[in-house]
Structure 1
């Protein structure tokens, strides 16, 4: 693949059409910036625009938690980009509760819709075009916290665990069509959303007894710092690029050693 040098490296995604969900701030905005730097044409989305939507990216407001929202976004991607070559599912999140029994039904459903089913629905709409072209790359953003099953976030980690299982299955299904599907699992990352979640977690933890598998929201990573959005975006860009052409069905954990792994 011919590359063109720029200030940050190479324009290895020159001519690619990219869609990034949850790209208005934090990790998503960093992914959008890196895709633009790599030469991609980028459409990003969130429920509302913020001042941190990277310059140069097209933006459309969409609620990916619903089938109608996914359909509207897929239509916008076709109109703005003419199709999607690379797809990054970054939208996600949930708020903590005092254990599984305290999580209302509607919060379980919302966690599933945002963190799992949004990817399933949007993939089902965009994968056929990739399959016709016999090429494409998809990255699902999960969470390094999945194995810890911390009680305040069981709805979130359960939804992300489902996403990881689905991602591996989809990778197996689409490999014959030249479409790669991988997962990036971030740990503690310095973003406005991450900071707000840690503050909520600290408040909830103060009201409940420590439970097996519960992680202290104030822990630091073995590498001694929080991750930065670009740390995660670097991993996403790698998996979308030809440098990862022999990687599919993989899970790349980017957490500074925060969570134990077997």
Structure 2
């Protein structure tokens, strides 16, 4: 009988991360999440007592190491890392962005991905197997006005992950990127509200602009992101490496605010 996959999902207590964790659990994997929202971790592990949960900030090197080392001690290794941690960052024109807000956005959205990858890679190399799935965004493919820190970080994780694919492929380790479009849920609602306020328009105007730029005119379901992550981590994707796969309904022209 095959051993269950040992999966780490950063920021896995809510939103897209929770959907990813749930999907891997449904497939029979051992899953550990790390999230800085203590209440969300508690609820997630109460709903699924088999889910391993840790409270911590993966943008902090100490917290990241404590999580990974604890999981390796518990399970003896790691098969899959889903680098999902990310924050929306400020919604503002570039000249109005506080440098601290810029740094905070990049710390979570790119630094955490580096910190976790450097910790799991030695274990995967020892096994000569593993998969790293990075969550970027269509903002990392097209840019994103009034969201420059977020877009910069999402471009960065693509370059980082493609570089990992080159380094790690000879060890049987694959690294790929999932680039979600507009994903339904409270976080996207907050993004839309912030942009609407910045532009002085109604929120439904902004929401309509998002879906009008897609061939399939609706928001993405979190479960659809989770499905792609599960595929990329599986043996069915054994020769998929260094790829960026958008789950976005086909973005024809990335969200351009009406002028």
Identify whether the pair has TM-score above 0.5, normalized to the shorter chain.
Answer: yes
Counterpart secondary structure, 2:111: helix
8 Å Cα contact 1:36-1:42 kept in structure 2? yes
Of 166, 170, 180, the match for 2:164: 170
Counterpart secondary structure, 1:74: helix
For the pair 1:194 / 2:217, whether they are aligned, the reply is no
User: 1:142-173 deviations in whole A, cap 9, x for unaligned?
Assistant: 00122332231100110111110010011000
Residue 102 of structure 1 and its aligned partner are, at CA, apart by 1.2
TM-score normalised by L of structure 2: 0.88
User: 1:85-140 deviations in whole A, cap 9, x for unaligned?
Assistant: 11101110223332111111111111111111101111101100000110000000
Residue 14 of structure 1 and its aligned partner are, at CA, apart by 5.1
User: 1:6-49 deviations in whole A, cap 9, x for unaligned?
Assistant: xxxxxxx8511000001111111111111011111000111024
Larger CA deviation: 142-151 vs 126-135: 142-151
Return the alpha-carbon distance in structure 1 between the equivalents of residues 184 and 25 of structure 2: 22
Counterpart secondary structure, 1:43: strand
8 Å Cα contact 2:183-2:222 kept in structure 1? yes
Of 101, 105, 110, the match for 2:99: 105
Return the alpha-carbon distance in structure 2 between the equivalents of residues 61 and 85 of structure 1: 21
Change (3 A) 1:81 1:259: farther
For the pair 1:90 / 2:84, whether they are aligned, the reply is yes
Return the alpha-carbon distance in structure 1 between the equivalents of residues 19 and 88 of structure 2: 21
For the pair 1:253 / 2:246, whether they are aligned, the reply is yes
Counterpart secondary structure, 2:133: strand
Return the alpha-carbon distance in structure 2 between the equivalents of residues 232 and 14 of structure 1: 24
- 1:185 corresponds to: 179
8 Å Cα contact 1:95-1:200 kept in structure 2? no
TM-score normalised by L of structure 1: 0.87
Larger CA deviation: 170-179 vs 185-194: 185-194
Larger CA deviation: 165-174 vs 251-260: 251-260
Residue 259 of structure 1 and its aligned partner are, at CA, apart by 4.7
Q: Which runs of 5+ in 1 are unaligned?
A: 3-12, 208-214
Counterpart secondary structure, 1:94: coil
Q: Which runs of 5+ in 2 are unaligned?
A: 255-259
Residue 228 of structure 1 and its aligned partner are, at CA, apart by 0.6
Larger CA deviation: 51-60 vs 172-181: 51-60
- 2:112 corresponds to: 118
Return the alpha-carbon distance in structure 1 between the equivalents of residues 194 and 115 of structure 2: 30
